[in-house]
Amino acid sequence: MKEIARKTILKGTGREKTFVYYVTESTPEPAFQDVGRGRRYGVCVSDESGQERLAVNDVTSVKATAERLVDILARNEVTPVTLYDVVYDWICGEAEG
């Protein structure tokens, strides 16, 4: 995983929490290497302690696109709780556009 950003967020409880935003990278299974499937990139959001963490893998085959998505997640203070829904909405928007 490659760390892209850190963001300290004031939660509803009035306490600050720092989240770390990453790009994940996976290599294809050997069976898929023959059909041209290359590296895949995803995103991950974790609190500093690693106790709250969620990753969504295989979002894109373009690293720069995953990095752009992570930047969007950090700017909008997305937490692990909402990551899946936000990525799903982003994917649907990309498919429409």
pLDDT tens column, 18-46: 999 999 998 766 665 555 567 899 999 99
Count of the separate structural domains present in the chain = 1
Residue where the block lists tokens 């760390």: 3
For residue 18, give its domain range.
2-96
- How much is the pLDDT for 85? 96
Higher pLDDT, residue 11 or 69:
69
Q: What residues contact residue 45 under an 8 Å CB cut-off, 6+ apart?
A: 19, 20, 21, 22, 53, 54, 73, 78, 79, 80, 83
